[in-house]
Amino acid sequence: MTDTLTTLPPGTREHLLSPVTQAALRVQNAITTGARDYLGAHGFQELMPPLIGPVTDPGIRGSKQVDVDFYGHRYKLMTSVILYKQASLLAFDKIFYVAPNVRLEPLETADTGRHLAEFTQIDVEVRDASREDVLELLQGLVRHIVTHVLRERRADLDLLGRDPAAFEALLREDFERMTHRAAVAQLRGLAHGQSADAEIDWAGEKLISEQTDRPFYIVDYPKGSRGFTDGESAAEPGILRNFDLIAPAGFGELASGGERTHEYRRLIERMRETGENPAKYAWYLDLARDGLPASAGFGLGLERLTRYLCGLDFVWQANAYPKLPGIASP
Amino acid sequence: MIRAAGFPEAAVRARARGGPSAVFPDADGYGGAVFGAAAPEGDDLDRVRLVPPVFVPHRLEKMYELGREPLYSDVELGRSVGGFTAPLPVFLCAFGSTQVGTGLGVAVSEQAGRLGVPMVIGENVVPMHGYGRVDAVEDGLLARIRAYARAVPDGLGGVVVQQSTEDADAEVWNLVYSDPDATRLLETGRLAFELKVGQGAKPGLGGMTVLSPSVAAAVADRYALDDSLGDVVLRSSSPGTFTEEILRQQLRLMRNNYPRARVWVKLHPGRDIAHAVRVAWCAGADAVTVDGAEGGTGWAPTVFLDHVGLPLAECLARIGKHDGDLLVSGRIWEGARALKCLARGATAVGLGRAALIAAAEDPSDGLIRLIACLDLELRLLLSALGKYTLTDLTDDDLWSPTDDQL
Of B3-17, B181-195, B277-291, B360-374, the one with minimum mean pLDDT is B3-17
- Average pLDDT for B55-84: 96
Asked if the structure places residue B221 within a domain, the reply is no
Asked if the structure places residue B61 within a domain, the reply is no
Partner residues linked to A75 by β-bridges: A68
Distances (CA, A) of A35 to A144, A317, B112: 8, 21, 57
What ipTM was predicted for this assembly? 0.81
- Average pLDDT for B67-71: 96
Residues of chain A contacting B248 with CB distance shorter than 8 Å: 224
Distance of CA B11 to the CA centre of its chain: 31
User: Which of B:124-163 have CB within 8 Å of A?
Assistant: 163
Q: Which of B181, B248, B257 to mutate to test the interface with A (most CBs of A within 10 A)?
A: B257
Asked if the structure places residue B28 within a domain, the reply is no
**B183: contact with A, CB 8 A cutoff:** yes
Asked if the structure places residue B13 within a domain, the reply is no
Average pLDDT over chain A, rounded to whole?
A: 94
Cα–Cα distance for residue pair B351/B330, rounded to 1 Å: 8
pLDDT of the residue at A2: 44
> pLDDT digit string (tens) for A150-195?
999 999 999 999 999 999 999 999 999 999 999 999 999 999 999 9
Whether A65 sits inside 8 A of B174 (CB atoms) is: yes
Cα–Cα distance for residue pair B328/B285, rounded to 1 Å: 15
Question: The domain spanning residue B328 has which CATH number?
Answer: 3.20.20.70
Nearest chain B residue to A224 by CA distance is B253
Q: Which residues contact B12 (CB under 8 A, 6 or more apart)?
A: none
Q: A70 — phi, psi (to 5°)? A: -100, 90
Whether A325 sits inside 8 A of B178 (CB atoms) is: yes
**A280: contact with B, CB 8 A cutoff:** yes
Confidence of residue B32 (pLDDT cuts 50, 70, 90): low
Whether A104 sits inside 8 A of B169 (CB atoms) is: no
Cα–Cα distance for residue pair B337/A2, rounded to 1 Å: 59
Asked if the structure places residue B365 within a domain, the reply is yes
Asked if the structure places residue B211 within a domain, the reply is no
Residues of chain A contacting B195 with CB distance shorter than 8 Å: 275
Residues of chain B contacting A274 with CB distance shorter than 8 Å: 249-250, 253
User: Which of A:183-212 have CB within 8 Å of B?
Assistant: 195, 197-199, 201
Confidence of residue B234 (pLDDT cuts 50, 70, 90): confident
- Between B140 and A135, the more confident residue is A135
Asked if the structure places residue B8 within a domain, the reply is no
pLDDT of the residue at B302: 84
Please count the structural domains in chain B.
1
Nearest chain A residue to B247 by CA distance is A273
pLDDT score of B202 more than 90: no
Cα–Cα distance for residue pair A321/A118, rounded to 1 Å: 9
Asked if the structure places residue B92 within a domain, the reply is yes
- For residue B143, the enclosing domain spans 72-204+239-399
Name the residue among A104, A225, A280 with its Cβ closest to that of B256: A225
pLDDT of the residue at A218: 97
Helix (H, G, I), strand (E, B) or coil at B143: helix
**B176: contact with A, CB 8 A cutoff:** no
pLDDT of the residue at B168: 65
